[in-house]
Structures are given as structure tokens and as C-alpha cells.
Chain A
Amino acid sequence: MLSKLFNFFNFFPTAHCDVAEPWQLAFQDGASPSFDGIVDLHDQIMFYLVIIVIGVSWMLGTIIIKFNTRTNPIVYKYFTHGTVIELIWTVTPALVLVAIAFPSFRLLYLMDEVIDPAITVKAVGSQWFWSYEYSDYISDSGEPIAFDSFMVPEADLEEGQFRLLEVDNRVVLPVDTHVRFILTGSDVIHSFAIPALGLKLDAIPGRLNQTSTFINREGLFYGQCSEICGVNHGFMPIVIEAVSLEKYLAWLNEQLN
């Protein structure tokens, strides 16, 4: 409905950010345990959110409708405080915060753990492209697999490809494998973010940040730099191509030869 309305007026061109579908409101389909955890936490918090929204709306509505000056000018004229109600509205939010905090911390520390990675990929953010290095593999000449990844300009896109999201060199990774990313920036702070994998980590000059992922299905996963890094910040996308192990090995051979 919203999409039709805006399309009717043709006000806003659709932004295909992260390959969210046009006017998508919910999450993209997840492809890693981290992202599943994020969605679970979102759903848990949404439970409390709905209760709070209903409770607060009911109280506000009651006050506005039943106790306004027109319908009820005298009642509670001298009512200035109530110990019981103050205790209730102080303790209840504290309990709700505790109930939200514990699952949140659990997820945070689970995501922070880099579990025995099989592959390590270095990603370096630069103004305005990403450079990747697969340091686990060395070619005969002693060089690791390394390449830069630039956005494909609109004029060079093949029909159907996503504007502002396609890159000339994708990061190819195998599914069902623990992968570690080591991130840094070469000039200013960038942020390596791929929503469908639940990844977002700053790439900071002079510092190595690490995170990991475990991609559980094949596919293409789009991300973008998520830290304002200059005029072309919006033009340094990230594309991860998740493939089977066999295809990954074939790709490795191709890169090393």
C-alpha cells in the first residue's frame, strides 16, 4: 500500500540498500547464527515493547479522556503524589530493563567470540573502496590472494544488477565454515557491514578489529560502508558471494594460478 502510494506520486526513487526489497520493513533473510540471534533478541524486546506501548497508551488515553478539565474539573485537585504508584512505575521499568539486558549481553558476548576460524580475511577500508587479503593462501611467488573491490558504476551494470551495490571483485567464501574478518582502515574510519550476516564492525586506522561469521547458505550478500567516511561514503559497497566448498576451492585455484 505504502509502496503504491509513493509510486503513484513518484516522489522517491527506491533505494536498493543491502538488497532490502523496495519498502521492506522487516529484516532481510538471515544467513548466519549471529543474525538469527539478533532476530530472536529483536522479537524478545518487541514483546516488552508491545506491552509497554499498550500500557502507556491506556494510561494516557484514560487521563486524556476521563480526567480532562472539561469532564472532570475538580477531582484530584490536591493530588500531588502517591507512594505506591511511584514505586510501581519505578520498579517495573527496572525489571523490564533487566529482562532485556540479560539476553542482550548473552548475544553480545556470543557474537564477540571468534571460534577457531578456518579462514581469515583481512579487509581494509580506504576512501572509497575495500581491499581484501586472504592471508591463509600463498601463491608460488609467495604472494597472498589480495585484491581491491570497487563499486561498479551505473553505466557498466548488466541489466538486473543492483545500482550502487555491485562491485568488480566479490569476496568469495565457503558456506558452513568459520570465517574470521580482520578489519582496519587505511585513512579514516570505515565500517564493514553486511546485514544478512549480522556483521557490522568499524575499520579503524591503526587498529585491528576482528569479527567472525558462519554463513549457512549459498547466495549473494550485499553490504555498505556504515561509517561516514567522506564524499563517496555511499559508493563503497561490499559483496560477499557464499559458495559451496568445492566452488570455493576452484576459485582459490583460479586466484593462485
Chain B
Amino acid sequence: MIRALARPAVRITQRRCASTSATTPAVQLQNIESRWATLSAQEQSSVAKHLEQIQAGEWTKMTTEQKKAAYWVAFGPHGARTPLTGPGHALKVAAGTTAVVGAAGALFLWIRSKGGEKPTTMTKEWQEASNEYARANKINPISGVSSEDYKGTGFVSSSKN
């Protein structure tokens, strides 16, 4: 199934064969990228077949216009390769995401504003006392607050008394 999806909309056989080099003058290749969407399925098929015939011949004899058309039909953004989103889509997604995150932040701040006072244990004075308490009880003596030459702030995370 994946292979079927990966198959291009118009399959072009890239065999180099010099035996068929007939061209159909009726098929117009100018500006194929702008006209492609306006063509009927039958016309698209005839263009593709025409290009297949050309490519079956000597590639060096192809004109620039034919090469451009062959490339566009094989790899251009049409059929299965049509972009899923239009221009400005990324901006819309970014704006939507920002709005949702912003709303969540506002909700968080609102809930927090309704919360009670901070516990008394959150004052700097208490937290400094916690450091002393931890040292007295040998808490985290290897790498933490009770270790030798400890440079960190330990349990002090508040700047207010």
C-alpha cells in the first residue's frame, strides 16, 4: 500500500530506447505547470504519453521546454504531490498554538491568584534554618548541603523573609 502511495501520479518510463522518437505536434508543452490544472484527465494523459515517447528517444535531442515539461509532469506539485496546505498555513498553526498556550498560562495565573498564602516554611529565614537542621542531621552529606566545601544555597530558594 505504501508503495502504491509513493507511486507518482503520472508514471514515466525512463528507458532509453532510440526506436520510438515520434512526436505529436498537437500537444502543447508551453507553461505546462500553469495549464496542468485546467487540462482534462484525458489531455493530461496525452501530454504524459507524448513526453514518454520523447524520453524514449535520445535525451540529448530534447529541447529545454520538453525537459522542463517532463520534469514538471514527473515531479511537480500535482496529483499525489499536491501540497496539503496553502500559503500562510504555518503562521496559522503558530498563532493557534500560541493562543492555546497563552490561554493555559492565563488560566494558571488566575488559579494561582486565587490560592492561599505561601506556607511559613517558604521564607528565607526558615529555609536558612532548614540548612542548619539538615547539617545537624547529616542530610545529603556527600554532594548536598551537609557535604564539605558545599557552595550551593541548599534549601534556600526564597529571597524574602
A77: B residues at CB distance < 8 A = 6, 8, 75
B40: A residues at CB distance < 8 A = none
As a 0/1 sequence over residues 19 to 57 of chain A, the CB contacts with chain B under 8 angstroms (1 = contact) are: 101110010111000000000000000000000000000
Q: Which of A139-147, A153-161, A176-184 contacts B (4 or more CB under 8 A)?
A: A153-161
- Interface contact B126-A159, CB-CB below 8 Å: yes
- Interface set, chain A 68-104, CB cutoff 8 A to B: 73-74, 77-78, 80
- Interface contact B138-A217, CB-CB below 8 Å: yes
Instruction: State the interface size on chain B (CB cutoff 8 A).
Output: 36
As a 0/1 sequence over residues 76 to 100 of chain B, the CB contacts with chain A under 8 angstroms (1 = contact) are: 0000000000000000000000000
- Shortest beta-carbon distance from B119 to chain A in Å: 6
Q: Which of A14, A21, A77, A78 has the most CB of B within 10 A?
A: A21
Q: Is B143 an interface residue (CB 8 A)?
A: yes
A217: B residues at CB distance < 8 A = 138, 141
Bound complex: CA A80 to CA B134 (Å)? 61
- Interface set, chain B 109-156, CB cutoff 8 A to A: 112, 118-122, 125-126, 129-134, 137-145, 152-156
- Interface contact A219-B119, CB-CB below 8 Å: no
- Interface contact A29-B142, CB-CB below 8 Å: yes
A13: B residues at CB distance < 8 A = 118-119, 122
B145: A residues at CB distance < 8 A = 21
- Shortest beta-carbon distance from A202 to chain B in Å: 26
A29: B residues at CB distance < 8 A = 140-144
Contact of A11 with B112 at beta-carbon distance under 8 Å, contacts A21-B155, A22-B157, A217-B138 already known: yes
- Shortest beta-carbon distance from A6 to chain B in Å: 8
Contact of A219 with B139 at beta-carbon distance under 8 Å, contacts A11-B112, A23-B157, A80-B6 already known: yes
Interface of B is mostly: loop
Q: Which of B120, B126, B141, B157 has the most CB of A within 10 A?
A: B157
Q: Is A163 an interface residue (CB 8 A)?
A: yes
Q: Is B19 an interface residue (CB 8 A)?
A: no
Bound complex: CA A11 to CA B157 (Å)? 12
Interface of A is mostly: loop
- Shortest beta-carbon distance from B64 to chain A in Å: 18
- Shortest beta-carbon distance from A174 to chain B in Å: 15
Q: Is B159 an interface residue (CB 8 A)?
A: yes
- Interface contact A220-B139, CB-CB below 8 Å: yes
Q: In chain B, what residue has the closest Cβ to A24?
A: B144
B6: A residues at CB distance < 8 A = 77-78, 80
B26: A residues at CB distance < 8 A = none
Q: Is A7 an interface residue (CB 8 A)?
A: yes
Bound complex: CA A21 to CA B130 (Å)? 11
Q: Is A162 an interface residue (CB 8 A)?
A: yes
Q: Is A218 an interface residue (CB 8 A)?
A: yes
Q: Is A122 an interface residue (CB 8 A)?
A: no
- Interface contact A219-B75, CB-CB below 8 Å: no
Bound complex: CA A218 to CA B141 (Å)? 10
Q: In chain A, what residue has the closest Cβ to B142?
A: A29
Q: Is A16 an interface residue (CB 8 A)?
A: yes
What are 28 residue pairs bridging A and B, where the CB atoms are less than 8 Å apart in the complex? Answer: A3-B157, A11-B112, A13-B118, A14-B155, A16-B121, A16-B155, A19-B139, A21-B145, A22-B153, A22-B157, A26-B143, A28-B144, A29-B140, A29-B143, A30-B142, A77-B6, A77-B8, A77-B75, A80-B6, A159-B125, A159-B129, A161-B133, A162-B121, A162-B133, A163-B119, A219-B137, A219-B138, A219-B139
Listed in ascending order, the chain A residues whose CB lies under 8 Å from chain B are 3, 7, 11, 13-14, 16, 19, 21-23, 26, 28-30, 73-74, 77-78, 80, 154, 157, 159-163, 217-220
